[in-house]
Amino acid sequence: MQQELKSEITKQHILHEAFKLFYENGFKSTSVNDVMKATKMTKGAFYHHYKSKQQLGLEVIQLKLQQRVYDGMIVPLEQPGNAIKILEETFLNRIKSFPVYDKKHGCPMNNFINEIGNYEVSYQLALKSIIEKWKSALVTLIDKGKEQKTIKNEIPSEAAAVYLISAFEGIRGIRKIYEDDRVINHYISGLSLYINQLKP
């Protein structure tokens, strides 16, 4: 039992350091040696837990990225209350809350999608699964807004959900090439206008 716990702690340590390296340097630019150096592990110890960099990458997507999107972008959508206010709080407040480090490096999931989304089917399916869960939570909220009469009934729920996700992910990527938040402020203004147009 103690050995299992120790093994799980080691795996979590590898995942944490690998996530950081992939986020800062990119998946393709990060080698197994880089991960071993960051975790202070021997080759044998690393390969005891992960057969390959590909397996590690997949677990980073399924465990680290998925949890990050779930906590930051899905859980807030599932709260009770006015659907429009929830959309504003989730998308507008979240973008304002990112530290400089996150603004500089963009969205980890979006970085993975752009770098390896079409690189291997297993990555593609894992990343798509995260987007689909996020989209589903948004569709549920938008439909709830229609029932509350806080969102126009004629709004196509899935189209609105895809637009909101795309705009949010897009600005995270665009912000990486700017020195300040002016471009984010323009996004916030534009998104506020869009959300207002959803109201009856």
> What is the per-residue pLDDT across 128-148, written as a single tens digit (0 to 9) for each?
999 999 999 999 999 999 999
- Look up residue 50 and give its two tokens: 């992960």
For residue 13, the Cα-to-chain-centroid distance in whole angstroms is: 20
Cβ atoms of residues 61 and 134 within 8 Å: no
Q: Could you give the C-alpha distances from 104 to 60, 77, 100, 180, in angstroms and in order?
A: 20, 26, 6, 10
**pLDDT recorded at residue 1:** 60
**All domains in the chain, ordered by first residue:** 1-51 (1.10.10.60), 52-198 (1.10.357.10)
> Residue 7's pLDDT band (boundaries 50, 70, 90)?
confident
> What percentage of the chain carries pLDDT values higher than 70?
100
Residue 56 has pLDDT above 80, yes or no: yes
Considering the chain, what is the average pLDDT of its residues? 94
Residue range 18-31: mean pLDDT, rounded: 96
pLDDT at 5 over 80: no
User: In Å, how far are 6, 23, 187 from 71, measured between CA atoms?
Assistant: 26, 18, 22
| Residue 16 in this model has a pLDDT that exceeds 80 | yes
> DSSP label at 92?
I
pLDDT band (50, 70, 90) for residue 120? confident
CB 122 within 8 A of CB 113: no
Q: What is the mean pLDDT of residues 105-131?
A: 94
Q: What is the pLDDT of residue 98?
A: 93
SS3 155: coil
Tokens 């637009």 correspond to what residue?
A: 163
CA distance 41 to 36: 5
In degrees rounded to 5, what are phi and psi of residue 77? -70, -20
**pLDDT value at residue 8:** 82
